[in-house]
Structure 1
Amino acid sequence: MCLDGYCEHNAEELGADAADAAAAAGKAPGVGRRGLLMAAAGAAAITLAPVSFASAAGGSSGSASGGATPPSGTQVTKTVTGHLDTGAADFVYLPVEIPQGVQKISVAYAYDKPGVPAGTPGNSCDIGVFDQRGTKLDGQGFRGWSGGFRTSFEISNSEATPGYLPGPVSAGTWNIVLGPYQVAPQGMNYRVTVTLTYGEPGPRFVPDYPPQRAKGRGRAWYRGDCHLHTVYSDGKRLPSEVAAGARAAGLDFMVSTDHNTTSSHGVWGQYAGQDLLIITGEEITTRNGHWLALGLPAGDWIDWRYRSRDDAFDRFARKVHRAGGLVVPAHPYCPYVACQWKFGYDSADAVEVWNGPWTYDDESAVDTWDAKLGEAVRSGGPWLPAMGNSDAHSEPQVIGLPHNVVLAEDLATDSLMDGIRAGRNWIAESSAVELTFTVTGGGRQAGIGERLTLPADAPVDVRLDVAGVPNGTVRFITDEGQMHQESLPASGSGTVVWRTTTSLAAYVRAEVRHPMADGTPGKGNTMGPALVWGPMAALTNPVFLVPAKG
C-alpha cells in the first residue's frame, strides 16, 4: 500500500552502478560489486547493494540527514528482485537504509519454485532481519527470524509478527537476511518488498517472562517435554494451546524451543502457573544439524549462522553453559536437509535419542548413544545422558510423546537442568508409563544416573518395576548388549529382576518396548531368533557398575 505518492517499485533502486556491474557480469541486479564474501560467521554470504529510502522520505538526503519527515501514516515501498545460483551462499543480506521518523517496517518476500527432477532439491528460502546494530555473529542486531514459515513480517515499537522482536525502528542500516538453504539447478529468482510507515512510535512492548520456579514436591521426579514449537517459529499452536497441551499430558514443566528466535519468551508469563513451570530455550538450526539450548535466561538469543567447519559451535555451547543452560543435539539422525548432526558431542550435556513417535531414526540415535556410553567407560571420562522430547509443532503431533522424567531437588529451572545434566532422568511415551529402576548390592543401592562400586565378584541385583505397558517387553542392556529380556502381562505392570556383577557389566540400562504392531516378530539376524519387541515405551539412562579397587 502506498500513500501520498511515496511509492517506488523496481530493482534499479539498487543503484545504477551496481546494476551496470551486475549486467556486465551476467547476474541479476543486486549482487554486482557487493557480491560474494565471507561473513563474520564464516559461512558464505552475499551482501547486496543497499536500498535507500532517503530520496523518497523528503528531499535530497532524506529525514535521516535532516530533511523533512513525511506526515504521520505515510508509507513508502520499494521492491528488489534478483537471482541466486545454486551454491551461491548460505545467507543473502539486503541492507536497507532506514531514515528517522519511521514507526514500522514491513517486509514481504517471494521466490520461484521451478520444477525439478525427482530426487533433486527445489527452491526453499528462509527470512529474518537484523537492525542498525549490525549482523556480526553473536552481535546485538538480531530482530527476528521466521524461517520459511511466513512470507511477510512487521516490526514496530509496540508489537511484531511472531518470530520477531518488538522495539524501535531506529534510523540506520538494517539488513534483511535471506537463507536459501535449497536452490534448484535453475537457480532462484527472488523478490523482496520493504514498506516503511512514518509516525511516532507506539508504547514500548513490555515482555512477560515466566518465573523460574513453580510449586514443587521437593526432591521428586518431575515430568517435562523439553522440545516444543509455537506460532513464534514454524508451529501452528498458540502458546496458550501448547501450555494447555502440556497440562493435559500430565507434565510438570515444559521448555519453549522455537527455531532461531527468542520472540516467544516475552509472552510465556501469562501461561505459566504453580502447576506448570515454563522454561525458556531455543532450537538452533544450523546447516549441519539442530541443537537445543535449554534453560536460557529469558531473552537470551543464540546465533545459528555457521557450519561445523566454521569452528563456531563450541563458542556458543560455552555461552549457553555460562548462562546455566544445557546443550542438547536434537534428532541427530533426522533425514531432512541440514538436520543430521555433524558437530560431535564433546560440548553436549545430553543428546535427544527419542524425538516424537518412535522411528528408525531413534533406533540409530540410541545405538550411537549406547556406543558412546562404552567409550566413556573405556576412557574414564564423562558420559552423555539421553533425553527424549516430542518436538511437537501442530496437530496431530502429541505434546509429551515422549517426555523426560527428571529427579530434581525442586520444580525449578536450575534444579531440573542439574538433574538432566547428571543423567538422573528416564524417558516415557506418556504419563501413563511409570517405572523405578535400581541396582542393589553389598547393602547399597544406586539409581538412574548413579554409580555403584562393589568387589568384582559381588552379586548385583538389577530391578525394574514398571506399569502402563500392556504385553510389553523389558530389556536390560549392558556394555555387552542385551543381557536379559522378559515379557510383561496384559495388565502392563510387573517387576523384573536380573543378577550380574561389576566384572560382567560396566553399566546397565533398561528399555521397555511395546509388542509389534501386527503381532509378528521383527526381523532378527542369522545368528539368533527374530526380535519380539516393537516401539519404545520407556528408556532409562544407565546405572554404572564399578569394580572396587584392591
Structure 2
Amino acid sequence: MTEDVHGERARLGRRGLLAAGAVGVVAATAGAAHAEEATAPAPDRTITLTGTLPTGAPDFVHLPFDVPPGVREIAVSYRYDRPTVPPGTPGNSCDIGLFDERGTDLGGRGFRGWSGGFRTEFAVSREQATPGYLPGPIRPGKWHVVLGPYQVAPQGLAYRVDVTLRFGAPGGEFAPAYPPERARGRGRAWYRGDCHVHTVHSDGRRQPAEVAAGAREAGLDFIVSTEHNTSSAHGVWGPLAGPDLLILLGEEVTTRNGHWLALGLRPGEFVDWRYRSRDEALPRFARQVRRQGGLVVPAHPYCPYVACQWKFGYEHADAVEVWNGPWTYDDESAVDGWDAQLAVALRDGRSWLPAMGNSDAHSAPQAIGSPHTVVLAEDLHRDAVLAGLRAGRSWLAESAAVRLEFTATGHGRQAGIGEELAVPADAPVDVRLDVSGVPNGTVRFLTDEGQLHQESLPAEGAGTVVWRTTASLAAFVRAEVRHPRADGTPGRGNAMGAELPWGPMAALTNPIVLRVRR
C-alpha cells in the first residue's frame, strides 16, 4: 500500500509562501493571510492502494486507509489488469465496496456500500452518495475498501485503488424517503407482484422511476426492490410508490455459493453476503430476515453462471424462485427440482416450499413483470402480501394477460392454491382449472407421480379443464399451462433429445395438497 504525496507537497508549498510573505508585507496583510489559512479547507489528499491477488485469493480482501478529521467526501476509483488467459480459463474479475470506521465484521454496522463490478468509481458524503452507497457521516478512523476477486487469472490480479479525501464542511444530512407499507387494495384478492428487480443502485441500467413506471405498465400491484448486496435504494422509493403500487424493500444477497432474495426488509436494513455454504453463516442471516417478518428465497437456483447456482440447501428457505426471466433450461431444471421436493416433503409430513416467479429485470429489453407471482392476500399491505407468499397461496404468470383459477372439490369441500383438502381415501376429487390468455396452450395436471392429465386450449387461449382423482392416488395436484413448442406441437411427456419436451411456461401454480381423512 502506498500513499500519494501530492497533497503533502501542496500543503508545504502553501506554508512556504505564507512564511515568505510575512517578511515583506505589512502586519495587516499577514493577519488577513493567516485568517484565510485558518478558514480555507485543506487540499484534497489521495491515498493509493496497490497489490496483486494470487489465484486462490480470499473471496473478500479488505484494504484499510485512515480518514482524519475534517473530511467532507471520500471518492474512490479502481482498476485492475486483465491479462490474456488460455481458452476455457477464467480471466480477472473484481468487485468493490466500502466499510466505514465501525469495522468490517460480518453482519456488523460498518457497511457503506457495494457496486460489485458495475462501477469503477464512487463517492460518499454526509448528504449524498453514488447509487449503491449510503450517504452518512464521514467520521475519522480506519475505513476499508473491500475487493471481491470474483475470478483470478493464473497470472494473478494486480489492482490499484485511489482513495481521495476531500476536506470541508460536512454538508446537510440525507433524508431518506421510504415507501409506505400499504397501498389501496381490494381487500382479500389476488395481487400481482414482481419480487426481483434491479436499478442503477446495483447492476441495472434503469432508474427507480423507470422501474416503477414499468411495473404499472405491466399491470402489477406491487414490486420488491432487490439490489445486489446493498440497501441504498430503500430511501428513494417513497415518491414512486402510490395508492396503485405497493413497493416493498429487500436485497439480493449475492454470495459465492448462490444468490438469495431477502424480501420484506425494514427500511435501511442491510444483509451481509460475505460467506460460502461451508461457513454455515446462512442460518444467522435467515434469522435476521425472519425476525422482521421477511422471507428467504433462493434465486435462480440452477443458473449456470459462476457463483449463481444454489449450494446452501433449502432448510432455511421460505420459498424458491423457480422461474427467472424468459423461460430457459435452468428454469425447467428448477421446476423439476422443486417438484421433487414437494413429493418428499409431503411424504415425510413436512411443510412444503412454495414456488415463485420473477423477472430479475435489469435493463431494456428485459421486461418488468415477466414473469411475476400472483398472490392471494388479505389486502395490499406488506405483512399480508408476505403472508400469502409464505403460505404458497400463489401462482406464477408470464404476464397480466394470463388469468386462471385452480380448485379441488371433493366430499362437500373445496380447496384452492396453497390450501389442503382432507377427504376419505377413495372419495372422488374433481380438479378444475379455468384459464385464459394462452392461445393454443397446453394444460398439464401433475401429482407426486408426475403428469396424469393433459389437454389443449383452443386458439383463443381460454378454456376449462376438469380431471378426477382421489387422495389415495395423489398427495398433491398442481397445474402448468405451456405455450406450444417452437415447432408448433403441444409438447409430449418423455421426449428425449436437444429440445425441451414442452413449450415455454405461461403459468404455473403452487399445489393443492390432498390429505386422506382418517
Where do residues 94-493 of structure 1 align in structure 2 (5 Å cutoff)? 94-493=63-462
- State the secondary structure of the residue aligned to 1:263: coil
Q: Which runs of 5 or more structure 1 residues have no equivalent in the other structure?
A: 1-10, 14-50, 60-67
In the aligned structure 1, how far is the partner of 2:500 from the partner of 2:153?
43
Q: How much does 1:298 deviate?
A: 1.0
Superposed CA deviations along residues 271-316 of structure 1, whole A, max 9, x for unmatched, are 0000000000000000000000000001000000000000000110
Equivalent pair of 1:53/1:99 in contact (CA under 8 Å): no
Residues 475-526 of structure 1, C-alpha deviations (whole Å, 9 max, x = no match): 0000000000000000000000000000000000000000012314668647
Question: Does structure 1 conserve the Cα–Cα contact (< 8 Å) formed by 2:325 and 2:361?
Answer: yes
Name the structure 2 match of 1:533.
502
Secondary structure, aligned partner of 1:367: helix
Inter-CA distance 499–130: structure 2 relative to 1 (3 Å threshold): same
What is the distance in 1 between the residues matched to 2:154 and 2:501?
A: 46
Alpha-carbon distance change, 306 to 82 in structure 1, aligned in 2, over 3 angstroms:
same
Q: Determine if the alignment matches structure 1 residue 545 to structure 2 residue 511.
A: no
Report if the CA contact (8 A) 1:521-1:532 is conserved: no
Q: 1:93-114 deviations in whole A, cap 9, x for unaligned?
A: 1101000000000000000111
Letter in 1 for 2:232: S
Question: Tell me, what secondary structure is at the counterpart of 1:195?
Answer: strand
The alpha carbon displacement at 1:169 in A equals: 1.0
What are the within-5 Å matches in structure 2 for residues 52-91 of structure 1? 71-72=40-41, 74-91=43-60
SS in 2 for 1:436: strand
Letter in 2 for 1:419: G
The AA in structure 1 aligned to 2:291 is R
Conservation of the 8 A alpha-carbon contact between 1:56 and 1:76: no
> Closer, same or farther in 2 for the Cα pair 1:418/1:56, shift >3 Å?
farther
* Alpha-carbon offset, residue 361 of structure 1: 0.2
Q: How much has 1:181 moved relative to structure 2? A: 1.1
Contact 1:292 1:330 (8 Å CA) reproduced: yes
- How many residues end up aligned between the 2 structures? 493
Partners of 1:126 and 1:527 in 2: how far apart? Answer: 41
CA–CA distance in structure 1, aligned partners of residues 421 and 492 of structure 2: 36
TM-score (norm 2): 0.92
Measure how far apart 1:79 and its partner are. 1.5
8 Å contact kept, 2:70–2:169 = yes
2:139 aligned counterpart, secondary structure: coil
Deviation (angstroms), 1:76: 1.0
CA contact (8 A) 1:53 1:98 kept: no
Query: Where does residue 26 of structure 2 map in the other structure?
Result: none
Structure 2 counterpart of 1:228, which letter?
Answer: V
Contact 2:494 2:501 (C-alpha < 8 Å) held by counterparts: no
Q: Which residue of 1 aligns with 2:478?
A: 509
% of aligned pairs identical?
71
In 1, distance between residues paired with 2:289 and 2:480?
A: 31
Query: Tell me, which stretches of 5 or more residues in structure 2 are unaligned?
Result: 13-36
- How big is the shift at 1:89? 1.1
Counterpart amino acid of 2:376?
A: L
State the Cα deviation string for residues 368-404 of structure 1 (Å, max 9, x = none): 1011101111110111000000000000100001000
| CA deviation map 1:345-380 (0-9, x unaligned) | 011000000000000100100011011101111110
Q: Is the 8 A contact 1:460 1:500 kept in 2?
A: yes
C-alpha deviation, 1:74, in angstroms: 2.1
1:533 deviation in Å? 3.2
Task: Please state how far the C-alpha of 1:81 moved relative to its aligned partner.
Answer: 1.9
Q: Secondary structure at the match of 2:343?
A: helix
Distance in 2, matches of 1:54 and 1:531, equals 63
- Label 1:496 to 1:95 Cα distance change in 2 as closer, same or farther (>3 A): same
AA aligned to 1:481 is G
How far 1:75 sits from its partner (Å)?
1.0
Provide the C-alpha distance between the structure 2 equivalents of 1:138 and 1:57, rounded to a whole number of angstroms. 40
What's the offset of the Cα at 1:71? 3.2
Paired amino acid for 2:157: M
